[in-house]
Amino acid sequence: MVQGATYYLTGCALDCGGRCLLRAEVQDGRVVRIRGEPTAVRKYHLEPCVRGLSYETRAQHPDRLTRPLVRRGPRGTGDFREASWDEALSLVADRLQAIRDESGPGAFLCHGGSGSLGASLHWTKAVSARFFNLFGGHLEMTGNYSNGAAGPASEYTYGSQHTAQSRSDWFRSRLLLLWGWDPLVTVGGSHTTWALRECRRRGIPIVVVDPRRSATAASADHWVPIRPGSDVALLNAMAYELIAHDWHDEAFLQRFALGFDAYRDYLLGTGDGVPKTPEWQEPITGVPAETARWLAREYGTRRPAALLPGWGPQRSRQGEQFHRATAALATIAGYVGVPGGGAAGIGRGPGPQIDRPQLPAPPNPYPGRLPIYRWADCVLRGAAGGYPSRPRVAYVVGANRLGQHPDTAKTARALDSLDFVVVHEHFLTPTARYADVVLPATTFLERNDILKPYGGVGCFYLYQHKAIPPPGQARNDFDVFSDLADRMGFGEVYTEGRDEESWLRWLADQAGIPDFDAFRATGIHWTTAPGPDGDPEGEEPYVPFREQVTREAPFPTPSGKIELYSERLAQRNDPLVPPIPRYLDLPEGPADPSRSIFPLQLLSPKAKRRTNSTLLGGSLDGVQAITLHPEDATARGLAEGTWVRVWNERGACIVPLRVSDNVMPGVATLPSGSWVKWGDDGADMGGCPNSLTSDEGTAWGHSSIQQTVLVEVARAGGAVAAPSLS
């Protein structure tokens, strides 16, 4: 501890993949260091990452917004003037009231983002939804950017999203197969790195399937490169191999699964005459047939094995099919509900969930709903595009939509076309530059809250202490909405007469925390006692669907079984939404004819030092660059450090080049989260990959396809025009 400093127990309220107990050391009103709480790290394996350990750089950055801003110049220019809180909130209240009177609740988009994910009181989505539902309603957005395909796919297969076993259950596996998941960067539970180290120590083989040699793949026993968007083909071929060699569990399938016969017929080619063999998948995936056979043999014979899919592959046009196919493979092998096995699927754990407990919001009185991935299209097209309404207002809290939403040029047009935009922010982000009013918000170091583990992976709550005062006039989002509600006549309803501490005591009671003061003092409350090795998921490893398998309790599906064939999907009669998890040739995939123009598949993996687009700037952010395999760089006459133009029919960006064999040939990687910054020729100089992505969405649920994108790369500076595919 820094001499003379006072420490406060806190924790990251970030969409980072983990939830860690931290010590913020404060001297003279400033955080001088953040470190993991020693007992939580050593005993309970809650290991913080660089995002949390460097957060004081963000909270105390000289560019923090400290006063309300009102737009003075054209949208997007960043031309604002400072205003008082009274002026800013009066302007917001008057405009919201007038637009509601003119157009009704369908005029409002409530963009509560993941800026304080895991917080019980100050969660940006909760505080904003409570306000707008009390205000009369809004055009509600469904789904999410993170796992909008994985969630429905798991529900249609298992009837549940709680498909993740305890990390310590991995110790009972004879193989870990990580598919499109890089937990050394995206975390997936604060004790995941501990569990992986322990698996290595125990000699449990780890295989990673991924288009790039990620940090996790580099530390694994085997890396299997695969073309983006082709994962379902390899999963189908592995399922074929399990059946062909009797590595499947016929008895398990007969007892617990529905539709195996239909899926087997597809795999064997009964209907189309094309068996889904390892040879069939090779030209699709780029995975040699022999490697596919080896992988199937390892998974099918090292019993039990755990298939652990990430969320990257489901951000593709095959999104729902990917998670359906992982669940199908685990089911065919008979590993569901088995210690050391695994159900695959979305991977939510059994611990406290993100939405329980939280600041409550009454039901939204407006019936219209909109997939979140389509909001910009809705703004531009309205009822003519088949949407419930045409929004006029975007109220954005803890979200940087211009950068995180696909097709940034289209997103900018949508923001520019709105009548009124309000943003709560820490910095003047690209989204904030399009606002009419920008309100300075606090960071998690400047407020108190109760935090829940990421994705239910962990059986605890953390107390987040306020460590430092807010800079300037920055305010908590809850307090801003309370003030705004008061001006609009429902302030007492919004607050229910409770201040921050009163709400936290109420939320602690809802969570079943018996002694709030003791919880606040220790910083952690266990919902299940840790295991003898400090396992934060309890003494006995959790195995999803164990009750269904051991006691033959029904699965929470319409049939009561694992649904490899979904009658609900069959009733859609949509060839792009098949009732079984099958591979489909889709636009911008491995077989798209437009590859003759745009031959590279672009991936935008998560950055180690960023959480989405948070933590950009200063010492936290490295140089944004695109990575190509040496073969692809040489074929284009490019060398390390060359500035290149990356483009397709949707946009272009200018970035330096890295050359590495950590990415397979034909694939380019450009980390997500960089802020868009257009140059004079319209190219993005910030290197934001969403300058190149489409907002079309998956066929099933209009979910993210941000990992399905074709591009070309050439030396910057020449006359490189983006050709049209029309």
CATH code of the domain in which 394 resides: 3.40.50.740
Nearest to 692, CA basis, from 705, 680, 679, 701: 705
Domain assignment present for 629: yes
Listing DSSP states for 229-259 in one string gives T-HHHHHHHHHHHHHHTT-S-HHHHHHHEE-
Could you tell me the residue range of the domain that residue 83 belongs to? 69-141+373-442+470-510
Taking each helix axis as running N to C, give the angle between helix 477-487 and helix 85-103, from 0 to 180 degrees, rounded to the nearest 10: 60
Global pTM value: 0.96
Q: Where are the extended beta strands (E) located within 372-531?
A: 393-397, 420-425, 437-440, 449-451, 460-464, 524-526
Q: What is the pLDDT of residue 622?
A: 62
Q: Which residue is it, tokens 């694939």?
A: 667
Distance CA 121, CA 441 (A): 15
Distance CA 253, CA 330 (A): 11
Rounded to 10 degrees, the C-alpha dihedral 677/476/105/355 comes to 100
299, two tokens: 């998974």
User: Do 137 and 158 sit in the same domain of this protein?
Assistant: no
User: Do 180 and 284 sit in the same domain of this protein?
Assistant: yes
CB 324 within 8 A of CB 557: no
CB 122 within 8 A of CB 449: yes
User: Do 55 and 196 sit in the same domain of this protein?
Assistant: no
User: Do 159 and 308 sit in the same domain of this protein?
Assistant: yes
Domain assignment present for 362: no
Distance CA 421, CA 380 (A): 15
Nearest to 651, CA basis, from 710, 708, 593, 586: 710
* Phi, psi for 628 (deg, rounded to 5): -125, 155
Q: What is the pLDDT of residue 720?
A: 39
| 128 to 16, 124, 251, 426, 475: CA distances (angstroms) | 21, 6, 50, 17, 14
Domain count of the chain?
4
User: Do 82 and 164 sit in the same domain of this protein?
Assistant: no
Write the DSSP symbol of residue 13.
-
CB 45 within 8 A of CB 535: yes
Domain assignment present for 533: no
* Phi, psi for 315 (deg, rounded to 5): -90, 55
User: Do 314 and 400 sit in the same domain of this protein?
Assistant: no
- Please, what is the end-to-end C-alpha distance for the chain in angstroms? 63
The dihedral region occupied by 346, where left means phi > 0, alpha psi between -120 and 50, and beta the remainder, is: alpha
Q: What is the pLDDT of residue 618?
A: 36
* Phi, psi for 487 (deg, rounded to 5): -70, -25
Domain assignment present for 284: yes
User: Do 55 and 169 sit in the same domain of this protein?
Assistant: no
CATH number of the structural domain spanning residue 275: 3.40.228.10
Distance CA 674, CA 681 (A): 19
Q: Where are the alpha helices (DSSP H) in 245-345?
A: 250-256, 260-268, 278-285, 289-301, 319-333
Distance CA 292, CA 659 (A): 27
Listing DSSP states for 607-625 in one string gives PTT-BTTBT-SGGG-----
CATH number of the structural domain spanning residue 603: 2.40.40.20
User: Do 494 and 610 sit in the same domain of this protein?
Assistant: no
Distance CA 34, CA 6 (A): 12
Domain assignment present for 654: yes
Residues of the chain with confidence (pLDDT) below 70: 1, 617-622, 718-726
HEC per residue, 539-588: CCCCCCCHHHHHHCCCCCCCCCCEECCCHHHHCCCCCCCCCCCCCCCCCC
Q: Which residue is it, tokens 């957060």?
A: 55
The radius of gyration computed from the CA coordinates of the chain, to the nearest angstrom, equals: 25
- Give 70's strand partners: 81, 437
* Phi, psi for 36 (deg, rounded to 5): -70, 145
User: Do 379 and 428 sit in the same domain of this protein?
Assistant: yes
Cα 348 to chain centroid distance, Å, stands at 13
User: Do 278 and 407 sit in the same domain of this protein?
Assistant: no
Domain assignment present for 455: no
Domain assignment present for 355: no
User: Do 124 and 81 sit in the same domain of this protein?
Assistant: yes
Q: What b/e string do you get for 333-365 counting C-beta neighbours within 10 Å, with b at 16 or more? A: bbbbbbbbbbbbbbbbbbbbbbeebbbebeebe
Domain assignment present for 585: no
Distance CA 149, CA 145 (A): 9
| 516 to 118, 134, 184, 480, 512: CA distances (angstroms) | 18, 29, 34, 26, 10
* Phi, psi for 217 (deg, rounded to 5): -60, -35
CB 161 within 8 A of CB 144: no
User: Do 104 and 171 sit in the same domain of this protein?
Assistant: no
Write the DSSP symbol of residue 136.
T
